[in-house]
Amino acid sequence: MQNLIGFGKDTDPANELLKSFERRFASSPRLFRAPGRVNLIGEHTDYNDGFVLPAAIDLYTWAAIAPRTDQRLRIYSENVDESAEIDLHDSAAKGKDHWSDYVHGVALMLLHSGISLRGADISIFSNVPVGAGLSSSAALEVSIASALLGIAGSSLALVEVAKLCQRAENEFVGARVGIMDQFASCFGTSNHVILLDCRSLEYKLLPLPSGVDMVICNTMVKHDHSSGEYNERREQCEEGVRLLKQYFPSIRALRDVTLAQLESNRTDVRHSSMPDLIYRRCHHVISENERVLRTVKALQENDLVTAGRCMAESHLSLRNDYAVSSCELDIMVDIANRCEGIIGARMTGGGFGGCTINLVKSDSVENFQQRVREEYKVATQLDCEIYVSRAGAGVTEITSVG
């Protein structure tokens, strides 16, 4: 979905969406809201059963919904001023490479898990920038899942909602994403980052250090997950596991491999040689998992220097070994690293464009923003967008507006 149209900057999106829904569908809806996310560290580790450290942000997708008497979903997107219709009886439906696929996929997965859905009129609005690596897709999926469950009078454990939304994206939309985004959109907690073990789905909340802000800088160059590069990285990791398994049969995912094992596989002549490309992909994932755990320890000890160093190493690894950065992301990180008050800077999300995440000392945030804007414009001729976000709450029903 693209952000083409929307509500005025100074209006309350929830209020505007309700008013617009009432005009369009002549009924009073319920309102659900799910956030986007930013990932502090742990990139491309989720689908390798590894560790991630995301937070929900205060950018959201809102879904207004009222039941219908038939089995159709009529959805209107305020962002693109476009409607779509879905027939809930059509269980063989296929994705159409359209924003409504996210809604359709979630509805089908809910039906497959035995939920009796009702037809509904739905309006959606999102201020999560699309294609910016801030999980506009997960925010849409999770808001829709909650809205559909809400009017069906059903509930599911939040972790099941996250898994079901991931399945919708994997199986219906065709992007083989991991669980991080949907999990963060469900479990976001104010002022906390989430350390998630993507194998067990156990998680721990860590407070963000005081006096530090999360500053998200959007390069304004969009990515597209379904473009194939993302799925290709995932296949390369699977190939790495297949090759390593011959020598370390107990491993199930790159999560189980140490750097020493990876190196021994590369240098031991008895072992089949691993292509350099696969080696580098594995090296990123294995070292990134270590960096997540080092960052967590550093945050717990208020050691911001080490946390910042881990972020810097993560960016280099994503750029050099995993090859998912872009020229604009590298420029943005370089600029950030030269600013006063910077603790750590790296690309965030899937890559190939999108945003950087910066931990910045609170008293330097104003100057930081100004300098990044100016220098990025000089270097790229592009106007970037900057969001200073608190870590926010996960999906919720909004019961009072205005």
Q: Is 321 an interacting residue with respect to ligand GLA (CB under 6 A)?
A: no
Q: Is 172 an interacting residue with respect to ligand GLA (CB under 6 A)?
A: no
Q: Which residue has the tokens 């898994």?
A: 163
Question: Residue from 36, 129, 341, 350 that binds ligand GLA (CB under 6 A)?
Answer: 350
Q: Is 177 an interacting residue with respect to ligand GLA (CB under 6 A)?
A: yes
Provide the sign of the torsion angle of the four alpha carbons 102, 108, 110, 116, taken in this order.
positive
Contacts of 232 by beta carbon, 8 Å cutoff, 6+ apart: none
DSSP 271: S
CB of 140 to ligand GLA, least distance (A): 12
Q: Are the beta carbons of 395 and 148 closer than 8 angstroms?
A: no
Strand 120-126 to strand 72-77: parallel, antiparallel, or no bridges (unpaired)? parallel
Distance of CA 45 to the CA centre of its chain: 13
Site for ligand GLA in 128-147 (CB under 6 A): 135
CB of 292 to ligand GLA, least distance (A): 11
State in Å, rounded, how far the first CA of the chain is from the last one. Answer: 26
Q: Is 353 an interacting residue with respect to ligand GLA (CB under 6 A)?
A: no
In the set 49, 101, 121, 181, the catalytic residue is 181
> Hey, what are 23's tokens?
């005009």
What one-letter code names the amino acid at 393? Answer: A
Question: Residue from 47, 60, 62, 76 that binds ligand GLA (CB under 6 A)?
Answer: 47
DSSP 131-174: TSSS-HHHHHHHHHHHHHHHHHT----HHHHHHHHHHIIIIII-
Q: Is 54 an interacting residue with respect to ligand GLA (CB under 6 A)?
A: no
Site for ligand GLA in 15-34 (CB under 6 A): none
Q: Is 121 an interacting residue with respect to ligand GLA (CB under 6 A)?
A: no
Q: What are the phi and psi torsion angles at 187 (to 5°)? A: -105, 5
Q: Is 44 an interacting residue with respect to ligand GLA (CB under 6 A)?
A: yes
Q: Is 120 an interacting residue with respect to ligand GLA (CB under 6 A)?
A: no
Q: Is 240 an interacting residue with respect to ligand GLA (CB under 6 A)?
A: no
Indicate the residue among 177 and 307 with the shorter CB distance to ligand GLA: 177
Residue 274 CB-density burial (10 A; 0-12 exposed, 13-18 middle, 19+ buried):
middle
**Catalytic residue list contains 12:** no
CB of 306 to ligand GLA, least distance (A): 21
3-state helix, strand, coil in the chain (%, to 5): 45, 20, 35
Q: Is 36 an interacting residue with respect to ligand GLA (CB under 6 A)?
A: no
Q: Is 35 an interacting residue with respect to ligand GLA (CB under 6 A)?
A: no
Question: What H or E segment, with its residue span, contains residue 83?
Answer: strand 82-87
Candidates 42-50, 85-93, 368-376, 383-391: pick the segment binding ligand GLA (CB under 6 A): 42-50
Q: Where on the chain is the footprint of ligand GLA (CB under 6 A)? A: 43-44, 46-47, 135, 177-178, 180-181, 349-350
